[in-house]
């Protein structure tokens, strides 16, 4: 590990005459009377010359040491070393101590090496025109690793690698699995790994050029200058709608939306059905065809590339972490534009308005409520009674039995016009992203799933502007009571099972549990939902305003 440079401190040379023991001495002591008159003058001359020579050598060494820093940005220790060197340079220029130079002096000499990798990934570092490239990786987030390359970037599908030919001096190979569940080793081991290979040499855009003894791979496809690539995987949990949004589409939006379509997606473990299902979203993020990294054997050349995706959390876009302040509502607007059958193709994404009444104000209809059902586990066993309760509470209930083949535009159309949604905790709850702000999400939470229900769906729904209600299943309402006993640890203290790990918790509370809700308790929540909708619809607001007049 490199250490910050230490200032050179000259020490007394061995065997030096006693007259040179102090630099601040203005004159040597008088010569002994037995010495010749000329000897004292030479001694005084030597005492003054030696310190001047030492100071001269020190100044030359310091000046030569300063410009030798390399713009490699992949090592934090090297960064701190270069910052100290830049401060030394500023001190030399202004003849002041480095801590007195002020922010302006350091900003003038700010180099690539001083910038954090996140500044390049987020687009805050600009597009430098220097000949030497940039290679850095941000591995600070527990969910994903993201690497950034700038310069002569070329893909090599035969070895699952990316080559950076004008790499910074001193940079080494980097390996990345571009998927957003870094904390989960078992699933990450199934993700294809990308190797980034830096090759030193001056920049030359001509394909196939030989420089520094290295023959560059000839470009089969040269992408336009200023159009970067974003590399990511659609492996892992792809196939589960929750993970397709939380681990894939939303991180892709976070990473790529700032390019306004001028970006190429390079996909590992590419699935054609995935493109067919989410093509309407991808078309709003890129103006170019998706590249299948594994089976497209051509060499694609870029001047900029991001390997991996940024992620902020579960189904969330944090505007404080976005360089342009975008939020989950902007992602929802993109979904609405992509899946709405009435949206004009050229119109920009527009956030959805508050949920309107289902019919004109003079004759308000019953608000539309969708009930999403499950077939294998976490089944709502008394569904007919639930439907009746919804009808008695003043809703117009519709049962949604989703299949994998159900087109997303159909689901979007149903939910974008709905006032409320009811669902037992599970992946289908993800579709609340299609609902208008001001609508109601009522999630039925089985025993042992309180934390997951709130973290995965409750908080994200509230951030989107939905009214979120929870029905927590009581121990006697869970099928686990009959299987393990009403007073068993499994039913009464789920934390014991959860402490054994996610998979054990999933096996018991997600895979083996069905529910039967208490209709009276459930009806109380339906009334609360109905009251909320009455207070938020346009007609209710208009009536309140008229009453105030």
Q: Poorest-confidence range of 75-84, 119-128, 249-258, 524-533?
A: 75-84
Of 289, 297, 291, nearest in space to 232 by CA? 291
Three-state SS annotation for 128-185? CCCCCCEEEEECCCCCCCEEEEEEEEEEEHHHCEEEEEEECCCCCCEEECCCCCCCCH
Q: Using 50, 70 and 90 to split pLDDT, how confident is the model at 217?
A: confident
* pLDDT at residue 53, rounded to an integer: 77
Residues in a beta bridge with 138: 146
Q: Cβ distance 437 to 329 under 8 Å?
A: yes
Return d(Cα 132, Cα 496) in angstroms, integer: 56
Pairing of strands 440-445, 210-211: unpaired
Return d(Cα 529, Cα 536) in angstroms, integer: 11
The residue that leads in pLDDT, 288 or 541, is 288
What are 336's two structure tokens?
A: 């609405």
Q: Using 50, 70 and 90 to split pLDDT, how confident is the model at 548?
A: very low
| Over residues 15-20, mean pLDDT | 40
* pLDDT at residue 340, rounded to an integer: 86
Q: Poorest-confidence range of 21-30, 34-43, 453-462, 473-482?
A: 21-30
SS3 content of the chain, % helix, strand, coil (to 5): 40, 15, 45
| Percent of the chain residues topping a pLDDT of 70 | 70
Largest CA distance in the chain: 126
C-alpha angle with apex 172: 168 to 174, nearest 5 degrees? 115
* pLDDT at residue 365, rounded to an integer: 81
Question: Is the predicted pLDDT of residue 331 greater than 70, yes or no?
Answer: yes
Instruction: Give the model confidence (pLDDT) of 236-265 as tens digits.
Output: 999 999 999 999 999 999 999 999 999 999
* pLDDT at residue 166, rounded to an integer: 85
Instruction: Give the model confidence (pLDDT) of 303-330 as tens digits.
Output: 999 999 999 999 999 999 998 899 999 9
Question: Is the predicted pLDDT of residue 488 greater than 70, yes or no?
Answer: yes
- Average pLDDT score, the chain: 80
* pLDDT at residue 259, rounded to an integer: 96
C-alpha angle with apex 278: 274 to 280, nearest 5 degrees? 145
Residues in a beta bridge with 444: 424, 471
Instruction: Give the model confidence (pLDDT) of 282-300 as tens digits.
Output: 999 999 999 999 899 999 9
| Over residues 1-6, mean pLDDT | 42
Question: Checking phi first, is residue 501 left (phi over 0); if not, alpha (psi -120 to 50) or beta?
Answer: left
Of 358, 478, 370, nearest in space to 422 by CA? 370
* pLDDT at residue 158, rounded to an integer: 87
Q: Cβ distance 246 to 315 under 8 Å?
A: yes
280: three-class secondary structure by DSSP: helix
* pLDDT at residue 194, rounded to an integer: 96
Of 511, 339, 524, 536, nearest in space to 425 by CA? 511
Q: Which long-range contacts (CB under 8 A, 24 or more apart) does 113-119 make?
A: 113/69, 113/70, 113/71, 113/72, 113/73, 113/78, 113/79, 113/82, 114/79, 114/82, 114/83, 114/86, 115/73, 117/73, 117/74, 117/146, 117/147, 117/148
Instruction: Give the model confidence (pLDDT) of 101-118 as tens digits.
Output: 333 333 434 566 678 999
Of 443, 446, 431, nearest in space to 468 by CA? 443
DSSP tag of 461: H
* pLDDT at residue 157, rounded to an integer: 86
* pLDDT at residue 125, rounded to an integer: 78
Question: Is the predicted pLDDT of residue 449 greater than 80, yes or no?
Answer: yes
* pLDDT at residue 128, rounded to an integer: 58
* pLDDT at residue 403, rounded to an integer: 87
Of 310, 216, 295, 208, nearest in space to 257 by CA? 310
Return d(Cα 364, Cα 362) in angstroms, integer: 6
Instruction: Give the model confidence (pLDDT) of 170-210 as tens digits.
Output: 889 999 999 999 999 999 999 999 999 998 754 444 444 44
Instruction: Give the model confidence (pLDDT) of 362-418 as tens digits.
Output: 446 899 999 999 999 999 999 999 999 999 999 999 999 998 889 999 999 999 999
- Strands (E) in 463-533, as ranges, are 467-472
Return d(Cα 516, Cα 471) in angstroms, integer: 11
Q: Cβ distance 114 to 86 under 8 Å?
A: yes
Instruction: Give the model confidence (pLDDT) of 40-99 as tens digits.
Output: 555 555 566 766 777 777 776 665 554 443 333 344 444 444 444 444 434 333 333 333
């Amino acid at each position: 590990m490199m250490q910050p440079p230490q200032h050179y401190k000259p020490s007394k040379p061995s065997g030096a005459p006693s007259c040179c023991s102090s630099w601040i001495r203005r004159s040597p002591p008088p010569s002994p009377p037995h010495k010749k008159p000329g000897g004292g003058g030479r001694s005084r001359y030597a005492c003054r010359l030696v310190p001047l020579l030492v100071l001269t050598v020190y100044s030359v060494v310091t000046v030569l040491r300063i410009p030798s820093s390399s713009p490699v940005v992949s090592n934090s220790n090297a960064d701190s070393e270069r910052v100290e060197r830049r401060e030394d340079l500023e001190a030399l220029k202004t003849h002041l101590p480095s801590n007195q130079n002020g922010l302006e002096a350091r900003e003038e000499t700010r180099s690539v090496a001083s910038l954090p990798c996140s500044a390049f990934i987020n687009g805050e570092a600009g597009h430098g025109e220097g000949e030497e490239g940039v290679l850095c990786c941000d591995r600070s987030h527990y969910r994903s690793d993201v690497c950034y390359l700038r310069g002569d970037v070329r893909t090599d599908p035969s070895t699952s690698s990316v080559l950076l030919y004008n790499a910074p001096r001193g940079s080494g190979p980097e390996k990345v699995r571009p998927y957003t569940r870094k904390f989960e080793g078992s699933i990450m081991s199934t993700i294809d790994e990308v190797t980034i290979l830096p090759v030193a040499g001056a920049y030359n855009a001509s394909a196939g050029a030989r420089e520094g003894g290295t023959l560059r791979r000839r470009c089969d496809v040269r992408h336009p200058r200023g159009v970067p690539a974003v590399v990511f995987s659609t492996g892992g949990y792809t196939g589960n709608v929750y993970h397709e949004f939380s681990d894939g589409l939303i991180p892709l939006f976070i990473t790529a939306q700032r390019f306004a379509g001028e970006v190429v997606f390079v996909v590992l473990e590419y699935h054609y059905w995935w493109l067919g299902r989410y093509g309407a979203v991808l078309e709003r993020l890129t103006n170019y065809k998706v590249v299948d990294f594994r089976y497209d054997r051509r060499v694609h050349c870029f001047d900029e590339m991001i390997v991996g995706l940024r992620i902020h959390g579960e189904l969330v876009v944090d505007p404080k972490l976005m360089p342009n302040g975008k939020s989950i509502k902007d992602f929802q607007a993109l979904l609405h534009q992509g899946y709405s059958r009435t949206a004009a193709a050229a119109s920009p994404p527009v956030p959805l308005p508050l949920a309107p009444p289902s019919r004109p104000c003079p004759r308000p209809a019953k608000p539309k409520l969708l009930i999403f059902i499950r077939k294998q586990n976490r089944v709502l066993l008394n569904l007919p009674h639930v439907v009746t309760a919804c009808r008695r509470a003043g809703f117009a209930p519709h049962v949604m039995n989703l299949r994998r083949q159900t087109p997303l535009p159909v689901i979007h159309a149903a939910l974008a016009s709905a006032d409320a949604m009811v669902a037992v905790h599970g992946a289908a709850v993800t579709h609340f992203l299609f609902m208008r702000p001001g609508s109601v999400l009522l999630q039925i939470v089985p025993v042992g799933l309180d934390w997951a229900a709130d973290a995965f769906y409750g908080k994200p729904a509230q951030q989107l502007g939905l009214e979120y209600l929870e029905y927590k299943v009581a121990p006697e309402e869970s099928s686990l009571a009959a299987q393990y006993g009403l007073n068993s640890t499994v039913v009464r203290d789920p934390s014991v099972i959860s402490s054994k790990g996610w998979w054990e918790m999933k096996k018991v509370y997600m895979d083996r549990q069905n529910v039967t809700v208490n209709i009276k308790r459930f009806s109380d929540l339906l009334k609360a939902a109905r009251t909320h909708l009455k207070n938020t619809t346009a007609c209710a607001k208009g009536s309140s305003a008229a009453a105030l007049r």
